[in-house]
């Protein structure tokens, strides 16, 4: 598989994972509004350092699983059920809730960098998400678990994460009062994304029957 394609697969998959307003992108946006764009970018770089490690760990885990196809088949079915339940919850059951206030009191650029690393480290969602997605694209023949492909994919994932954080940093001030950032819209966005992932998972399961 062409490394350019692998790079953009990593970029797009990571981009999709960071689209819903969450802890990392909303914190980056609030830091940029309060302390300036440069502090928001430094925070984002800290986030991306951890994302690199998390994505690399995820692909290593996925490579191990790819050699145990029976385990992969079980995990695919479990993941499908989980994504369907998450989709139902966010599209039908989730109610509007008050957004928690995010502490953005750190002062120096170094503190912003380490704040980004810390918040990214406690956000472990990218590991199972990336492990599952790499197994999925590998099953379609779009990804191979060789060293060059893994590094290319991880680099793309880091770039995708940074691009979406960058978008939040520079455009949040213009959209913060729009419907996009409302809790209801956030729920619909997350529900739609998990619904798409569930659909892809179902197609993959059916193809292997």
Residue showing tokens 């502090």: 39
At residue 94, the pLDDT reads 59
Q: On the CB side of 92, how many CA atoms lie within 13 Å of its CA?
A: 7
At residue 52, the pLDDT reads 96
pLDDT confidence tier of residue 182, bands split at 50, 70 and 90: low
Mean pLDDT, residues 146-153 taken together: 93
Per-residue pLDDT tens digits for 27-55: 888 888 888 888 999 999 999 999 999 99
Domain parsing of the chain, residue ranges: 3-85+106-173
Please say if the pLDDT value at position 207 is more than 90. Answer: no
Structure token digits, residue 52: 């690199």
Question: What percent of the chain is predicted at pLDDT more than 90?
Answer: 28
Of residues 202 and 53, more confidently modeled: 53
Cβ–Cβ < 8 Å for 72, 144 = no
Which has the minimum average pLDDT: 10-19, 37-46, 82-91, 186-195?
186-195
């Amino acid at each position: 598989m062409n490394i350019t394609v692998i790079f953009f697969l990593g970029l797009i998959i990571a981009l999709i994972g960071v689209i819903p307003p969450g802890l990392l992108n909303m914190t980056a946006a609030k830091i940029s509004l309060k302390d300036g764009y440069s502090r928001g970018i430094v925070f984002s770089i800290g986030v991306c350092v951890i994302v690199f490690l998390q994505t690399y760990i995820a692909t290593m885990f996925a490579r191990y699983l790819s050699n145990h196809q029976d385990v992969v088949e079980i995990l695919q079915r479990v993941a499908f059920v989980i994504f369907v339940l998450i989709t139902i919850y966010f599209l039908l059951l989730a109610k509007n809730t008050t957004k928690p206030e995010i502490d953005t009191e750190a002062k120096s650029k170094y503190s912003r960098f380490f704040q980004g690393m810390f918040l990214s480290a406690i956000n472990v969602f990218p590991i199972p998400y990336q492990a599952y997605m790499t197994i999925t694209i590998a099953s379609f023949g779009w990804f191979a678990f060789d060293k060059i492909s893994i590094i290319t994919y991880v680099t793309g994932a880091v770039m995708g994460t940074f691009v979406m954080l960058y978008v939040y940093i520079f455009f949040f001030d213009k959209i913060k009062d729009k419907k996009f950032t409302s809790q209801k819209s956030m729920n619909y966005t997350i529900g739609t994304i998990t619904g798409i992932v569930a659909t892809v998972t179902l197609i993959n399961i059916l193809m292997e029957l």
